[in-house]
Structure 1
Amino acid sequence: MTETPPIPQWPSAKLLGAEFVSMDEDTLTVEMAFTPPEGFANMRGSVQGGLLAGPMDEAMGAAVFLGTKGKLQLTLDINLSLLRPVPMERMTVKARAVKAGRRVTYVESELFDVNGKLCARATATTMTTEWPGQEKGPDA
């Protein structure tokens, strides 16, 4: 995997404590790390299950960006399977663009706890979009 230093600066990435780890252009795979904010804890002291969709969606968005050579994504649907509780510690998500088409990209991701245990899986269908403010091309 290629090591790259970008630090996500958009509001949702900051809220989730996102950190770009690496990418592999050959497999269209991105790895990101996340540190959950204190407010993500449930009554058991682990990350509230539904809030795990956020880090996974962020990483899948990065995989779409890689798979579509720089386009953004709108998530059309996301399917999340929770496999075990996630401690309120740094977690990593590996996401891959399974099939990147002109308008629709299918992505998948896996979330691992600080000890490397698989805790959640997600798949999503996304629609690719241009960056805000960019003109539409002739075939749009």
Structure 2
Amino acid sequence: MDQKALEHLPPIHHHLGGHNIHWNEENTDLTIHYTALESFTNPRGTVEGGMICAMLDDVMGLFAYLANDHTPATTINLTMDFLRPCAVGEVITKCRFIKQGKTVLNLESEAWQNNKMIARSTANFLVLD
């Protein structure tokens, strides 16, 4: 992970407990670990879906930046599938391309906890100039 990319991490990345960033330039995929805190939970004690969505939007945003020669991109739309409840603790996210266009990037990401997929997302990002 290069220093330039680390300087562009948004404040939400730190709020979500983002750490252990692994950029695989050869395979063009990105893995980021997050720490889901007690303050992220709903009355049932599981992590709010919006917090998981924010983690996946964050990993896709950083992926778009890294995979597109450090050019910023912004979310156009995002769809979520919540597959299992998320407990407080470590969440591992992964992101990769579906298709890389010149102005629109089609991405997919997953959130994992205890070796089980808990959510997945697809999104389109607009490349900014």
TM-score between both structures, scaled by the size of structure 1? 0.82
May I ask how many residue pairs the two structures share in their alignment? 126
> Which residue of 2 is the match for residue 29 of structure 1?
29
| 1:5 Cα deviation from its structure 2 partner | 7.6
| 1:96 Cα deviation from its structure 2 partner | 0.8
> Which residue of 2 is the match for residue 137 of structure 1?
none
- In 2, Cα distance between equivalents of 1:92 and 1:5: 20
> Which residue of 2 is the match for residue 128 of structure 1?
127
- SS of 2:69's equivalent? coil
Percent identity among equivalent residues? Answer: 28
> Which residue of 1 is the match for residue 117 of structure 2?
118
- In 1, Cα distance between equivalents of 2:57 and 2:23: 16
Question: Which structure shows the bigger proportion of residues in helix conformation?
Answer: 2
| 1:27 Cα deviation from its structure 2 partner | 2.3
Q: Which runs of 5+ in 2 are unaligned?
A: none
Q: Which has the larger radius of gyration?
A: 1
> Which residue of 2 is the match for residue 75 of structure 1?
75
- SS of 2:36's equivalent? coil
Q: 1:102 to 1:5 in 2, by over 3 A?
A: closer
Q: Which runs of 5+ in 1 are unaligned?
A: 131-140
TM-score between both structures, scaled by the size of structure 2? 0.88
Q: 1:48 to 1:86 in 2, by over 3 A?
A: same
Ranked by relative contact order (alpha carbons within 8 Å, sequence separation 6 or more), the top structure is 2
